[in-house]
Structure 1
Amino acid sequence: MKGNIMKSEKPNKVKDFFEKKKDALGLQVIGGGEGLNREIHRAVIQRPSFLLTGYAEDFADKRIQIMGKTEMRYLEKLPKKRILEVVSLLFSYNQLPAVIISKPDESDDFTRTISIMEKIADEKKVPLIMSTCSTEELFTQVTIYLDILLAPEQSIHASMVDVYGVGMLYTGAAGIGKSECALALVERGHRLVADDIVMISKRAGEVLLACGVEGAGHFLEIRGVGIVDIEKLFGIGAIRLQKRVEIEVHLELWKRGKNYERIGENPPKTQYFGVEIPKHTIPVSPGKNITAISEVIAMNHMLRVYGYNSAREFFNRTQEGQRRLEITEEYLATDRE
């Protein structure tokens, strides 16, 4: 059963970003300090190059703006009046989160431009931040931070296990055996990510990432036994903090007359946040080894990743065998010796 999409409860104000990354990025607020409570709306950042030339159409004003050496050198060459006009335009957007200036070269002198920017940032109450990092490093570090901060999240009732390096999400009705399956997999050397409540978030690059509820640890609820601590029982090597979701395994009671997948050339798909992943529905019945089936699903998935499709190969061999049989029969039919 899929849960509801949750709005991230992580702090997403500029001051939270500043406090979190000020040491790593060498950040210093040099203007607009009263605007540190502005919210960050987008995980994408940009350089306002076109805006600085006066072209303001389709300007993405909800993004953090990065002023690199190119932008600052361009402004420094402009007359003071023109710098005032351009910077005033940049800071005039009400939803602008912040402007960050990257590290200049030793030969650069942006004193005049920065002085103007500081004054306008204070007037508009838009944070103006200086960094000791290069533009490229700023883009990388800020993008990674915002991608995690603003990632949409969804909580589902499930178990998540790393099986042979493949992230497998186990879903199904309460009591179907998800936790028991996870326990059996851990006993066979695989790694538990989360049980009962799994948080799924979408990251850049169409990646689904799963983890447990913060602070919940790696506990399993086994009906008839109670709560067990996987980390204490099996050691640190039996757990993971997070894992990419690559396959959903849906467990359900075996239903007479239902057609379950028997070939598997193209497994059905399911999706979270628009990202599709294979979904295998496994009927549960007494004596069925779900653990072994899980390992086969994981290894078969890796074969597909490397370009090998077992079902397709089976069909190809069957067709080749049939073709060879027809050739043989035709030869024998005309053989008179």
Structure 2
Amino acid sequence: MVKVRTKDLIEKFDLELISGEEGIDRPISISDISRPGLEIAGFFDYYPEERIQLLGKTELTFIGKLDDGDRKYRLQRLCTDITPGIIISRGMEVPEELLEASERESVPVMRSKLKTTRLSSHLTNYLEGKLAPTTAVHGVLVDIYGVGVLITGKSGVGKSETALELVKRGHRLVADDCVEIRQEDQDTLIGSSPELIEHLLEIRGLGIINVMTLFGAGAVRSYKRITLVINLELWDQNKQYDRLGLDEEKMKIIDTDITKLTVPVRPGRNLAVIIEVAAMNFRLKRMGVNAAEQFSARLSDVIDDGEH
């Protein structure tokens, strides 16, 4: 499925479409922006034709100094059948030869008032966000004290009920049941809710409730970076659960490793409080305070003292 087309850039950045209107539905498959300085100088061996081409003051000044034959040939070479578009920055004049070539090949030529570097930065950020790898996970995403906690577990284990209790305790719901995740950077996962079920929680016995209507706008968020996964599982008598918290388990989502805790569920355990404390403890660890390691060190000291 195509995520971004040239017309999306025109709308998002209020670009002026000058020529090549037939090509505004062309797909953009790569977030990198090309500034084709070498190509304009005549070197087309490695021309990244599938990228958005950005022409600034430097390129346009150089084009103006070329003789008519070179200018026409090189600007024609810029316009291929897979080039999604050419953007002129600083509101500068578009060379006539570029307009002719763009109309012939249906390559949209657009113009922006922004300076070249700033425009390049905005375009890259937008395209990276839109073209980032995505996945969907069955679970609940809650913002707890600024920590994005993804609560996972089998159906019926109590994820939504725990999220409801957390919202009642002042934390913010991002998504229930289905969490859409996109990887914006090598170690940055952003979770959000599908539009259809945004702000909604499904509680067995009650049905669907609207968290924003019940608890107000402060109880919800549109998206949140995921930094901790808490997996709820029914208590298994024969399983050894981590009692110190020294071992840190990881879960891979797309290409990013996220810290994962497994919390056993059984009657009498207040899951919301446990998850709340887990989030606070995770924050403390990131600040350099690790209670489990401190206890382990104290225990080692006591054992060493006893041996002497």
When normalised by structure 2's length, the TM-score is 0.93
1:143-154 correspondence to structure 2 within 5 Å: 143-154=124-135
Max Rg structure: 1
How many equivalent residue pairs?
A: 308
1:63 Cα offset (Å): 1.3
Q: Which runs of 4+ in 1 moved over 6 A?
A: none
In structure 2, how many angstroms separate the alpha carbons of the residues matched to 1:63 and 1:37?
Answer: 14
Aligned twin of 1:196: 177
1:235 Cα deviation from its structure 2 partner: 1.1
Query: What do residues 87-107 of structure 1 show as CA deviations (whole Å, max 9, x unaligned)?
Result: 12211x322111101106xxx
Q: Name the SS for the 1:56 alignment partner.
A: coil
The answer to whether structure 1 residue 251 and structure 2 residue 232 are counterparts is yes
How many angstroms does 1:250 deviate by?
0.8
* 1:313 equivalenced with 2:294 (yes/no): yes
Residue of structure 1 in register with 2:83 after alignment: 96
Verify the 8 A CA contact 1:52 1:86 in the aligned structure 2: yes
| Counterpart mapping for 1:20-59 below 5 A | 20-22=12-14, 27-59=15-47
Q: Aligned pair 1:183/2:164, yes or no?
A: yes
Distance in 2 (alpha carbons) for counterparts of 1:199 and 1:324:
53
Which residue of structure 2 aligns with residue 301 of structure 1? 282
Task: Give TM-score, length-normalised by structure 1.
Answer: 0.85
Question: What do residues 226-280 of structure 1 show as CA deviations (whole Å, max 9, x unaligned)?
Answer: 2222112111111111111111111111112212223323411111111111111
Is 1:168 the counterpart of 2:149? The answer is yes
Identity %: 39
Q: Which of 7, 10, 13 lines up with 2:5 in the alignment?
A: 13
Give the unaligned 5+ runs of structure 2: none
Aligned to 1:234: 215
Distance 1:78-1:301 versus aligned 2 partners, 3 A rule: same
Residue number among 124, 130, 137 corresponding to 2:105 in the alignment: 124
CA distance in 2, matches of 1:287, 1:135: 61
Residue 71 (structure 1) aligned with residue 72 (structure 2): no
Unaligned runs of 5+ in 1: 1-6, 105-109, 330-337
Distance in 1 of aligned mates of 2:254 and 2:184: 10
RMSD in angstroms over aligned alpha carbons? 1.9
CA distance in 1 between partners of 2:118 and 2:293 (Å): 45
Q: Judging changes above 3 Å, is the alpha-carbon distance between structure 1 residues 44 and 262 closer, same or farther for their aligned structure 2 residues?
A: farther
The 5-angstrom pairing of residues 256-295 of structure 1 reads 256-295=237-276
Q: Please tell me the residue identity of whatever aligns with 1:29.
A: L
- Comparing 307-316 with 284-293, which one deviates more in the overlay? 307-316
Q: Would you say the 8 A contact 2:134–2:181 is kept in 1?
A: yes
When residues 52 and 243 of structure 1 are mapped into structure 2, their CA distance, relative to the original with a 3 A threshold, is same
Compute the displacement of 1:287 (Å). 0.8
- State the Cα distance separating 1:65 from its structure 2 match: 1.2
- Give the Cα separation in 2 of the matches to 1:190 and 1:167: 11
- Asked if the contact 2:89–2:115 (Cα under 8 Å) also holds between the matched residues in 1, the reply is yes
Indicate the SS of the match to 1:83.
helix
